[in-house]
Amino acid sequence: MTRFAAPIAEQIWDMKYRLKQADGTPMDLSVEDTWRRIARALAEVEAEPAAWEDRFYAALEDFKFLPAGRITAGAGTGRNVTLFNCFVMGTIPDSMVGIFDHLKEAALTMQQGGGIGYDFSTIRPKGADVKGVAADASGPLSFMDVWDAMCRTIMSAGSRRGAMMATMRCDHPDIEDFITAKSDAARLRMFNMSVLVTDAFMDAVKADRPWELKFDGKVYHTVQARDLWNKIMRATYDYAEPGVIFIDRINAMNNLAYCEEIAATNPCGEQPLPPYGACLLGSINLARLVNAPFESGAGIDEDELADLVASAVRMMDNTVDASRFPLPAQRQEAQAKRRIGLGVTGLADALLMIGLRYGSDEAARQTERWLHAIARAAYRASVQLAKEKGAFPLFDADKYLASGAMQQMDDDVRAEIAEHGIRNALLTSIAPTGTISLYAGNVSSGIEPVFAYAYTRKVLQKDGSRTEEEVVDYAVNMWRDKFGDRELPDYFVNAQTLAPQDHVKMQAAAQKWVDSSISKTINVPENIDFEAFKDVYLQAYETGCKGCTTYRPNEVTGSVLSVSETSEATPEADKGAEVVYMTEPLDRPVALEGSTYKLKWPDSEHAIYLTVNDITIGGHRRPFEVFINSKNMEHFAWTVALTRMISAVFRRGGDVSFVVEELKAVFDPRGGAWMQGKYIPSILAAIGGVIERHMISIGFIEGEGMGLKSDPQAQVVNLDGAPRGPACPSCGQYEMRMVEGCMTCMSCGHSKCS
């Protein structure tokens, strides 16, 4: 019998985690082989590997402990990949040489599969003097464009593109440009972005006081703190970014505040890290640990939980020694502090199994109890490791125990640490688990509520056909096995029906016993009032959260709608609409209106001339064809190909502004160019910019980066009523959902962040 609880679980394993040869031949013949491979690799650093291999296998068996994807896919493979998920890079120097040295480090890290975070607050603001060259600085946003272009070309761990987090302090002079940067949908697409909000700023917001924007001691601007806060809130209300990180709280509660300062996080925010900080992740699957589910005595045996946690902590500590690192500084940092990030998944399912409604006061109390038990077990296990193998090298008992987080730890655990030391400086974190939760049988992800109790996905078969299969939540499957078709109780709530305040309540309950941070998305309804939306962030701040990420579906971020994958719309049916889809390409009229643009690429002998011709449908002018010409014969083949492809797309109709976004995203590894004060990553990106300006001039889009984000097809109701999200860029299915701060495909597990 298969160990997998659902067909999708086996498919995810085969696609993401199963070890295969280069030609696709499986080396892991079963999931038991995968567990054995991981257990053996992590036991190799032990004095008695054989004994620990069996114990590690028992922890992995039946998906009870879920190492993060990097470990599951990479451990024991012999491949040159890191087993660490999270990196924050070094502090960026405010110099051209230093900036590009750090760009190289970022590329090397992502090449091995690590997601990275950067604080761009250390780069001088736009317009500041650059001494010695009689020039003005271009500012941190222009260098973020360079990072973004580089990231697009780096395949992370061989199959995923790199993910990045950019942070900026709330008092940096360029913070307002940072806040609004993602309003341009073609810009900084490889970044998640968060503002580092200080306690002083929050006090100024509440008191409506002035707020100074300064760099290197010089005040550049003074704004009203509340106005700046409203600008942050408006951007995340409209575009789901930037997020908010309460940086003073993170530093105050850090066990290592005595030897490090944090200014950035990994891409999903659950790991605040110092310069060159690294952390690995893993999750206890609470849904697999509930005894007597849906019965009066349902619960989790805390002794069994503690034993599983102890095995998990030892496995993760061994990973520090077993892993490769992209940079020597990352290895040194990891081994000096031995940070690990043990978290949970399946929380919402576990709560359902014991009869609790996610978001209720009792569910929050139970969450706190479980997370307290895990933290206590993790710290005690790490003390035992310290007795056996030694404390982490930078351990200082007095300073460590005086830190903010350790002051609330149980007295007996504090006493053990004081006597024996501790192996791992920090131990707990709640990471995104979208893909591994599918692999574990579609358990609820992380500490998130269940998104949908059942949905239908289309599965591509070898002959090219598609079949449909129902994907059912793990707890619902257990309910069906036990009670058949009996109606689900009313405590089965989901992410769409949950009040935002209940989301925050659950995050705050978990945060109390998590020494790092939490990746969580607070879903809010599209029609939420802006003032009520801002209250969500204030509630998160006041209740002890270390950050806040929300998702409000709208035309820009993408609604989760019931949609049809095809449309019968025609120009006649859509007369008067701003965008139309043509079922057949239109014939070219004899004459068209258009404009020709000259593009001179630096270091190129000949200019490129672009002609964009337009057609008018229903009173609206739209691009119809493109001609690209150059005397440079090296350009001939690709300019002809581009002319034909873009024109073919334009003639099909619909929202063709994506052509601009795709062209602007192309990165030339030989180097881009600075044009009109902005870094352009390639000549194709420059062509995209010209087409975008033309679209603006004819009124097809409103402004730079303000393309049409809504698709007329999304208004066609699907007859089966199943919820659908945007199309997945990996598998094409309409199952993209915002999960734990990142758009994730429920069909294939694709995620920008993992």
Please indicate whether residue 266 is annotated as part of the active site. yes
Residues 6+ apart with CB under 8 A from 385: 313, 314, 317, 423, 424
Residues 6+ apart with CB under 8 A from 455: 470, 471, 722, 723, 735, 746
749 close to 442: Cβ distance less than 8 angstroms: no
> Distance (Å, rounded) from C-alpha 393 to C-alpha 379?
17
> Distance (Å, rounded) from C-alpha 244 to C-alpha 194?
5
> Distance (Å, rounded) from C-alpha 471 to C-alpha 442?
8
Question: CA triplet 89, 92, 96: central angle to 5 degrees?
Answer: 135
Number of Cβ within a 10 Å radius of residue 690 = 20
Reading the block at residue 234, the tokens are: 């408006």
Q: Report cis status (omega within 30 of 0) of the bond before 242.
A: yes
Number of Cβ within a 10 Å radius of residue 482 = 11
> Distance (Å, rounded) from C-alpha 734 to C-alpha 595?
37
Reading the block at residue 612, the tokens are: 């964009």
Burial, 347: exposed, middle or buried (Cβ in 10 Å; 0-12, 13-18, 19+)? buried
Give how far Cα 652 sits from Cα of 107, 584, 662, 711, 734, Å.
38, 7, 17, 14, 21
> Distance (Å, rounded) from C-alpha 24 to C-alpha 35?
19
Amino acid letter for position 266: N
The one catalytic residue in 85, 266, 442, 477 is 266
Query: What are the start-end ranges of the H helices in 607-682?
Result: 636-652, 658-664
Number of Cβ within a 10 Å radius of residue 618 = 14
Amino acid letter for position 450: V
239 close to 183: Cβ distance less than 8 angstroms: yes
> Distance (Å, rounded) from C-alpha 168 to C-alpha 694?
33
Residue with tokens 């291999």: 53
The one catalytic residue in 170, 268, 742, 753 is 268
Give how far Cα 405 sits from Cα of 116, 400, 513, Å.
25, 9, 8
Reading the block at residue 305, the tokens are: 């939980």
Query: Helix, strand, or coil here: 470?
Result: strand
3-state secondary structure 22-36: CCCCECCCCHHHHHH
> Distance (Å, rounded) from C-alpha 280 to C-alpha 67?
9
705 close to 697: Cβ distance less than 8 angstroms: no
Reading the block at residue 200, the tokens are: 């002083």
DSSP assignment string, 237-298: HHHS--EEEEHHHHHHT-TTTTT----EE-TTSS-EE-TT-EEEEEEEEGGGTEESTTSTT-
Please indicate whether residue 629 is annotated as part of the active site. no
The one catalytic residue in 270, 333, 692, 735 is 270
Q: Rounded to an integer, what is the distance from CA 369 to the centroid of its chain?
A: 28
In terms of Cα–Cα distance, which of 710, 19, 740 is closest to 446? 740
648-660 as b/e, with b when 16 or more CB fall inside 10 Å? ebbbebbbbbebb
- Whole-angstrom distance between the N-terminal and C-terminal Cα of the chain? 30
Please indicate whether residue 295 is annotated as part of the active site. no
Known catalytic residues?
Answer: 266, 268, 270
